[in-house]
Amino acid sequence: PTPIILDCDPGHDDAIALVMAHRSKAIDLLGVTVVCGNAEPEKTVSNTLRILEFIGAGDVPVAAGCVRPLARPLVLGTADGPSGLEGSPYLPQATKTVEKLHAVDFIAKTLRERDEPLRIVATGPLCNLGLFVLKYPELLPKIKDITWMGGVFWRKSEIITPTEFNAFCDPEALKIVLDSGVPITMVGLDVTMQVLVEEPQYAEFEKIDSELGRVVLDWLRFYEKLHRDSMGVGGALHDPLALALIIDPTLVRSRPAHIGVDLTGTYTFGATVADFWNERGLPPNAQIAKEVDADRFFDLLYSLLRD
Ligand code: BDR
Ligand code: CA
| Among the ranges given (27-31, 53-57, 86-90), the one the predictor scored with the smallest mean pLDDT | 86-90
Structure confidence at residue 227 (pLDDT): 81
Helix (H) or strand (E) holding 119: strand 118-122
Q: In ligand 1, which atom is closest to the CA atom of 9?
A: 6
Catalytic residue among 22, 102, 227, 238: 238
Structure confidence at residue 3 (pLDDT): 98
Q: In ligand 1, which atom is closest to the CA atom of 14?
A: 6
**Strand pairing class (118-122; 2-8):** parallel
pLDDT, one tens digit per residue, over 289-298 is: 999 999 999 9
pLDDT, one tens digit per residue, over 174-200 is: 999 999 999 999 999 999 999 999 999
Give yes or no for residue 14 CB within 6 A of ligand 1: yes
Query: pLDDT over 90 for what percent of the chain?
Result: 83
238 has catalytic annotation: yes
Residue 18 has pLDDT above 90, yes or no: yes
Alpha helices in the chain (DSSP H): 12-23, 41-54, 103-112, 127-135, 165-169, 171-178, 189-192, 199-206, 211-231, 238-247, 294-306
pTM to 2 decimal places: 0.96
Integer Cα distance of 231 and 236 in angstroms = 10
* Alpha-carbon separation of residue 74 from 13, 68, 284 (angstroms): 20, 5, 30
Give yes or no for residue 38 CB within 6 A of ligand 1: yes
Please name which ligand lies nearest the alpha carbon of 165.
1
**Strand pairing class (286-292; 143-149):** unpaired
